[in-house]
Amino acid sequence: AEPGRVPAARARRVPDDELERMRLALGWVSDVPPENASQRIALMMLVAVETAMRSGELCSLTWDQVHAKYVRLDQTKNGDARDVPLSRRAAALLALLPRNGESVFGVSDALRDALWRKARKRAEIVGLTFHDLRHEATTRLARKLDVLDLSRMTGHRDLKSLRRYYN
């Protein structure tokens, strides 16, 4: 992309069958505590679809930021802090992770990316990026939240940028 030019919005949706194929490719059995990094990334994927959190936000998430009904992000991509509400499903997924360290998922963004690409190939899914989960989550959440609550949850400062994220 040219400097200063905003890339075209991605309109790719992530159907449930692709999420399921990625879950299987990452080797995670639903509702069982994960045993390795790939399985933790499967949980991360599902939490991303529930919360619209960015990969970097999830990879850097620490247990002191996780509360019963929300996650407190002190530093986000745009520099603002925000509280991300947790659905019952997101809270249940996080509860499966052991609290045996500071990091919630225990993976770096680089490791997440490498294991994601490997699983995507194994699942025979073309072009799915982890960031597509943010778009999918925003689209799903738009059915439940008014536009101002949605922008607060996703951290979008203006409605123009938010509009790029949902169908």
Question: Which active-site residues does the annotation give?
Answer: 54, 77, 131, 134, 156, 166
Structure tokens at 74: 């002190």
> How many other C-beta atoms can be found within 10 angstroms of the C-beta atom of residue 85?
16
CA distance 2 to 136: 26
CA distance 85 to 53: 11
Alpha carbon 110 to chain centroid distance?
15
